[in-house]
Structure 1
Amino acid sequence: MIKIGNITLPDFPLLLAPMEDVSDPPFRVVCKDNGADLLYTEFISSEGLIRDAIKARRKLDIFDEERPVGIQIFGGDEERMAMAARIVDVTNPDLLDINFGCPIKGIVNRGAGAGVLKDIDLMVRLTEACVKSTRLPVTVKTRLGWDDATKNIEEVAERLQDAGIQALAIHGRTRCQLYKGEADWSLIAKVKNNPRIHIPIFGNGDINTPQKALEYKNRYGVDGIMVGRAAIGYPWIFREIKHYVQTGGMLPAPTLAERVAVSRKQLRRSVAWKGPKAGIYSMRRQYLYYFKGLPGFAELRQRLVTAITIEEAESVLDEILIKYEGFEMVQEPIVLKDYHENCAL
């Protein structure tokens, strides 16, 4: 078992990565249904929380069926991060996570996210400020370093552990890589194998198949894996990884009925949480992934992504079941979209 504060996770837990404009409660719930062991919110600005910004406050919404769930914050000012940590504490998540990995230019230029990788002393002070300001276990998600010349994750891991964090998730790229190239897990393994490190170490980056998850588990010895982009529109990735790790066998692809049912659940919860307009709009990016592999799907997909009411969208989902009755879904490769500056994964 893996322990983070009072949270008990199974051996080799699977974590859903915090993804901006993706990891909202409707998406988190369908991932939880399909095997995710620990969920994280979208990242939240410490400045926004303090100013009582509506969007930032809404991201604090969590629901019991998601637990355990962590709220992730970012910022570059110690006092404001401490204040944000106290606000998060009141909302009663299971843990508080600090984002030191977001590569987006607007965040980095404000001295937050991956921008803090340039100043390890500041990273430590920000972490200590949060640890001292909350009763929650504090964890961190970060990258290998700022660039190839400053891959200082081993030093960072030791110092953040000394500052009081209780788990560390590491994305196997530098900030300057964004999402280009292949994630390098060798330095993640060095952190895990460091005799000074006693907190759980979770690896993140490029996991898009059960086979790769098991290979990386065995090769790099991490305590668990954080899955991000591969879960978008395909929450079944979690159950498939778990089954493969436990049995060495592949589960069959989710049926069309399963895909419709899960996309419908996410749609309904999205509308209930965000309202009809925003809820429907936020689902549009998901449909391509949910129904990847259906032949002749262009017309129905176009109707799904242009539906303006939940009734319209649900009607198209019904049509999908009728049109493709008896169609056997096959396992399609999960292609990791290269977000670059557009995603805070």
Structure 2
Amino acid sequence: MAVKIGEHIDLGKFPLLLAPMEDVSDPPFRYVCKQNGVDMMYTEFISSEGLIRDAAKSKQKLDIFEYERPIGIQIFGSDIESMRQSAEICTLAHPDLIDINYGCPVKNVACRGAGASLLQDIDKMVAMTKAVVDATTLPVTVKTRLGWDDNTKNVYEVAERLQDVGIKALSIHGRTRAQMYKGQADWRMIRDVKRNPRIQIPIFGNGDVDSVEKAAAWRMEYEVDGIMIGRASIGYPWIFREIKHFFETGEHLEGPTIDERVEVCKTHLIKSIEWKGDKTGIFEMRRHYANYFKGIPNFKEYRTKLVGLGDHNEILEVLEEIKERFKMHTRTRSSIYR
């Protein structure tokens, strides 16, 4: 049976979602993930206060493209009225849905009363969610964590109460805010939410899915409706096609050749320049090179070259040189997952 969000978003039998990641899941990165089979994506999270103030950086994050659909715009904030207004602004950008971030653990979000901080005040979280639901005609979804810390794992209550005020899907990261990204994600509570007979909306699991084997095993063990993948896709968008291929055939795809890695890296760079302009596009691409070529021995000199160049033609020349130098190297699956 197909997984649906609201009446109109059909995600197929078992969707793979790209997690919203600050400074990562911008349109250029989303493009290469879409090319590799991801079923649904989200923008980087956007500050509700920034949207209301018309801040340029926040407004730019509203950019979405037809080929990305279905896509959600994710917002966060600490003020209910600001979140309501930002939902109205997001609706005008015509995404397929609006997602609320109640999971971000970083200090400059959580310590300002936004993101995972709302896990300490469920009544406010519910009121905020209702305000967003009431402010838009689009489906509203939520991403959250198990709780604030080990003493307040309240995701069961969160799931029921947010469903009651109208959310259409819930993504759960299997850690508390106190854990940040340390230790292992615990999916058992995600499974318990899914098993709750009161819960009728799709439940997506997130956290530590970094291999084909894990995706396949956890799909069965934890009974989720789909899997959201974040960090494992950085520099390795092929993870989506590999997981899908395994689900469909039970067989492993070969890892990408050096030619494939160079070509996808080039595409990412070109899209980055198209979206942000030469200077910013080249600068922001620098964080990705090491990830695209992770596992290649003696690559450091090339990474140093790539991050030091400011002309896109010169960068493309170095990428071609990498293709020639390492043409015998195929990245094995065991070398890519972290």
Same fold, TM exceeding 0.5?
A: yes
Partners in 1 of 2:244 and 2:271 — Cα distance?
Answer: 26
Q: Distance in 1 between matches of 2:325 and 2:58?
A: 41
Alpha-carbon shift at residue 289 of structure 1 (Å): 1.5
1:53 deviation in Å? Answer: 0.3
Match of 1:325 in 2: 327
Give the secondary structure class of the aligned counterpart of 2:288: helix
299-308 vs 137-146, which moves further: 299-308
Aligned residues of 1:147 and 1:177 also touching (Cα < 8 A): yes
| 1:116-147 deviations in Å (ceiling 9; x for gaps) | 00000000001000000001100000000000
User: How many Å apart are 1:318 and its aligned residue?
Assistant: 1.0
CA contact (8 A) 1:72 1:96 kept: yes
Report the Cα distance in structure 1 between the residues aligned to 2:326 and 2:189, rounded to whole angstroms.
46
Q: 2:225 is matched with which residue: 223, 226, 230?
A: 223
The C-alpha deviation readout for 1:84-142, integer Å capped at 9, x for no partner, is 00000000000000000000111112110001000000000010000000011000000
Whole-angstrom CA distance in 1 between matches of 2:55 and 2:87: 16
SS at match of 2:253: coil
Of 306, 312, 326, which aligns to 1:304?
A: 306
Q: Counterpart in 1 of 2:194?
A: 192
Question: What stretches of structure 1 of length at least 5 have no aligned partner?
Answer: 337-345
8 Å CA contact 2:295–2:335 kept in 1: the answer is no
1:54-69 maps to which residues of 2 (within 5 A)?
54-69=56-71
Query: 2:177 — aligned with what?
Result: 175
Q: Aligned partners of 1:243, 1:30: CA distance in 2, in Å?
A: 17
| Aligned residue in 2 for 1:151 | 153
User: What residue number does 1:342 align with?
Assistant: none
Aligned to 1:2: 3
Output the CA distance in 2 between the equivalents of 1:130 and 1:102: 18
2:95 maps to which residue? Answer: 93
User: Which of 97, 112, 131 is 1:110 aligned to?
Assistant: 112
CA distance in 2, matches of 1:181, 1:117: 20
Q: Which moved more, 1:288-297 or 1:17-26?
A: 288-297
Q: Retained in 2: the 8 A contact 1:273–1:279?
A: yes
Shifted more, 281-290 versus 319-328: the winner is 319-328
- Residues 120-131 of structure 1: matches in 2 within 5 Å? 120-131=122-133
1:293, CA displacement in angstroms?
2.4
Q: Which residue of 2 aligns with 1:49?
A: 51
What do you get for the CA RMSD once the two structures are aligned?
A: 1.0
Deviation of residue 295 (structure 1)? 2.5
The Cα shift of 1:326 comes to 3.6
Three-state SS of the structure 2 residue aligned to 1:333 is helix
Give, in whole Å, the separation in 1 of the partners of 2:254 and 2:260: 12
Aligned residues: 336
Following the alignment from structure 1 to structure 2, what is the Cα–Cα distance between the partners of residues 139 and 45? 16
Is 1:20 paired with 2:22?
yes
Q: Deviations over 1:165-213 (max 9, x none)?
A: 0000000000000001000000000000000000000000000001000
Q: CA separation in 2, counterparts of 1:220 and 1:279?
A: 40
Question: Would the aligned equivalents of 2:104 and 2:115 in 1 still touch at CA under 8 Å?
Answer: yes
Q: CA deviation at 1:335?
A: 4.6
Q: Which amino acid aligns with 1:214?
A: A
Please name the residue that 1:343 is paired with: none
Give the SS at the match of 1:149: coil
Q: Distance in 1 between matches of 2:329 and 2:153?
A: 49
- Alignment partners' CA distance in 2, 1:146 and 1:329: 38
Distance (whole Å) between structure 2 residues aligned to residue 333 and residue 190 of structure 1: 33
Normalized against structure 2, the TM-score is what?
0.98
Aligned residue for 1:96, secondary structure, equals: strand
* Structure 1 letter corresponding to 2:228: M
Q: Which runs of 5+ in 2 are unaligned?
A: none
Name the structure 2 match of 1:83: 85
Q: Are 1:292 and 1:332, in contact at CA under 8 Å, matched by a contact in 2?
A: no
Residue identity matched to 2:62: L
Residues 26-51 of structure 1, C-alpha deviations (whole Å, 9 max, x = no match): 00010011010000000000000000
- Provide the secondary structure at the position in 2 that maps to 1:252: coil
Deviation at 1:260, TM superposition (A): 0.7
Structure 2 Cα separation of the partners of residues 266 and 228 of structure 1: 17
C-alpha distance in 2, partners of 1:176/1:328? 38
Q: TM-score, normalised by structure 1?
A: 0.96
- The one of 163, 168, 171 equivalent to 2:165 is 163
How much has 1:333 moved relative to structure 2? 3.3
**What SS is found at the alignment partner of 2:125?**
helix
Give the whole-Å Cα distance in 1 for the aligned partners of 2:140 and 2:237. 26
Determine whether 1:202 maps to 2:209: no
Greater RCO, 1 or 2 (C-alpha within 8 Å, sep 6+): 1
